[in-house]
Structure formats: C-alpha cells, structure tokens
Structure 1
Amino acid sequence: MAQFIDPATLNRRLDERTAVLIDIRDPDEYAREHIRGARLVPLAAWDRHDLDAEAGKAVVFTCRGGNRTTANAARLFARAFPEAYLLKGGIEAWKAAGLPVHRDPTAPLELQRQVQIAVGTMILLGFVLAWLVSPWFLALAAFAGAGLVFAGITGFCGMARLLAALPWNRPRLAG
C-alpha cells in the first residue's frame, strides 16, 4: 500500500536534506514546470536509472496531479527504498499549498496537450466546414477520431510523432 506525504512535510524534509524528490513525468512536462530540486526520472525509463545516490534518504515520487504515481506505486516502490512516499496531489497540490515551482514559459506545451489541441481543432474544423461548406468535411472529424482510437489501441500516435518533429519541440542547443 502506498504511503503519502503532504507538500508541507515534503518541503520541510527537502530543506533538511532528509528526502529526495523524483519527478516521474516526461521531459517535456518537466521542462515546462517542476519543483525546484526535483530529479527527473521519467517513468518510461524508470528501469534504466541508477538511484543508489538516494540511499539513506526518504524517496518521494511526484507527477502532475498524483494519478500516475498512485497508478504506478507498486513499480516505484519495488526498488525497495527504506523509506518511500508519493506526494499527495502531486505538483498541483504543491502549488496549491503556496510552495514555489520552477516555470519556463518558453518551453513548449507538453506533447500530449499539443495532440489534444490539434485533434480537437481538426474535429471542430471538420464540423464547422461540414455545416458551412459541405458534409464531406465530416471526413476530417472522422479521420481525427479514428486516429485517436488507433493511438489508444496500439500505443502509437502519429500526431504526436509529427508534432515532436516540429521546430519548437526539438531540444534546444546549449550555449
């Protein structure tokens, strides 16, 4: 069973350096906003990360709202940390408690949100054009819906791949 820690307690433990915070979100989400000092260990690459440096400290896992950490608690805790917690409510609860986060407004929106915006726009545009111009434009909405179904079944999202290749989503070169 997962153990939870509240934002205020975590903040105190981070200040005391008795806890380490691990953010399991994807790099694009982390780049846009994260709790200062959080270590990025994306869930997709969880098994490939060395976490020995955290020995002797409580390990706290976070995501945006707490749903991903809760859903993956068994996998996260399987590393047998002596003391491990989930941040109750994730980064959203941290912010609601008035605690600071690092924001980079120049970072692109998370890829999932970009897909939602693109597909939603395609569906809306298909319906508006079908109403104003020709019912054949309903094919655009059907195509977008079929793409979502395909992505959900297979785990492959062509729209996400296309958006990831666009210039604003490419990693910035340092210096």
Structure 2
Amino acid sequence: MRLIDVREYPEYAAEHIEGSELVPLGKLTVTCEAWDRSQPLKLVCRSGRRATQAKQLLGAKGFLSVEILDGGIEAWKHSGRSILTAQHKPWAMERQVRVVAGSLVLLFVLLGSLVWKYFFAAAGLVGVGLIFAGVSNTCMMASVLGRMPWNQPKKITA
C-alpha cells in the first residue's frame, strides 16, 4: 500500500512517517494523473481533514482503493510509532506568519509616524487579516508564504 502525505512541505519536514510520500493537497490533482488507479492508497495529514478532502478528490478521479489513516499523524505519534524529521526544515508556518505580520505592523507604524499618516491604515489592515484568519481558520498570508521557495521541498517524492 502506498502512503501519501497530503500536508504542506514545512509540516512534512517537521515530522513524517517513514516511507510516506509528500504530495501536498494543492498538487494532488496534477500529480495523481500518472498513478495506477487500481493501486491501494492510504492518505495521511495532521488530523484527517485534508486526507478526507484528498480521498474525495481521488475518488472523483477514479481511484478504486483509497483509505485514510485514522487520526492522522497525531494519532500515529500518540500510539508510540516512530516518525522522521528532515535535517533542514523551514520554520513552522504559524511562526512565519507571526514574524511577517509583526514586521508589517511595525513597518507601517514607522512609515505612518515618519512619512505619511495613511500608512497607519495599512497596519490596521494587517490586524483585520489576522482577525479574519482566527475567525475563519484560514490564512491568506500562510497561503502566500507556503508558495515561497524556502517552503518548497528540494524534491517531492511521488
């Protein structure tokens, strides 16, 4: 059975199951085109949500045998099974978002104080974005940061 990890690279680099293949959910549609649709697949993510989305996507593409690792990598760890980590891994996405958001607020406050008062509004927009991210549990800044070169693997195994 082929074990496919559908999380993003920073998550995979931080911890993954030995033998799993990284195919982020956002790249699954294109990557799966070359796969044998009759080969059994087991999907894993952090807790199961993205794996469920991936299962629906693969089912629509004609894959016959797709399972989800119950509870994701969190359940795998809590059951005492081993995980691997990459030697060179990027910062966690939440940490990257905090650094960028804080830097933007500081920059806009300084620009508002020294250059043009309307830069204060940009600092407020960063705050609005953080509130939206908290309420909706989605973060546009994380989506953008996830596409940056330092958050991409050298090679995706698939």
Q: TM-score range by the shorter chain?
A: 0.5 to 0.7
SS of 2:43 mapped into structure 1? strand
Residues in 1 aligned to 2:142 and 2:6: alpha-carbon distance in whole angstroms:
24
2:41 aligned partner, one-letter code? V
CA contact 2:94–2:142 (8 Å) conserved in 1: no
Residues in 1 aligned to 2:63 and 2:146: alpha-carbon distance in whole angstroms:
39
Residues in 2 aligned to 1:85 and 1:170: alpha-carbon distance in whole angstroms:
26
SS of 1:34 mapped into structure 2? coil
User: Is 1:60 equivalent to 2:34 in the alignment?
Assistant: no
Residues in 1 aligned to 2:82 and 2:92: alpha-carbon distance in whole angstroms:
20
User: Is 1:22 equivalent to 2:10 in the alignment?
Assistant: no
Q: What is the total number of aligned residue pairs between the two structures?
A: 139
- After superposition, where does 1:1-175 map in structure 2 within 5 Å? 19-49=1-31, 50-52=34-36, 55-56=38-39, 58-104=40-86, 106-119=88-101, 121=102, 142-148=124-130, 149=132, 157=141, 160-161=144-145, 164=148, 169=151
1:63 Cα offset (Å): 0.7
CA contact 1:122–1:141 (8 Å) conserved in 2: no
Unaligned runs of at least 5 residues, structure 2: 108-116
1:73 aligned partner, one-letter code? K
SS of 2:91 mapped into structure 1? coil
Q: Which has the higher contact order (CA 8 A, sep 6+)?
A: 2
Output one character per residue of 1:57-102: Cα deviation in whole Å (capped at 9) or x when no partner.
x211111111211244311322333321111111111111111111
What fraction of aligned residue pairs are identical, expressed as a percent? 34
User: How big is the alpha-carbon RMSD for the aligned residues of Structure 1 and Structure 2?
Assistant: 3.9
Larger strand fraction of residues? 1
SS of 1:61 mapped into structure 2? strand
- The structure having more radius of gyration, on CA atoms, is 1
Output one character per residue of 1:19-41: Cα deviation in whole Å (capped at 9) or x when no partner.
11111112232222211101111
Unaligned runs of at least 5 residues, structure 1: 1-18, 127-135
SS of 2:26 mapped into structure 1? helix
TM-score for the superposition, normalised by structure 2: 0.64
Match of 1:6 in 2: none
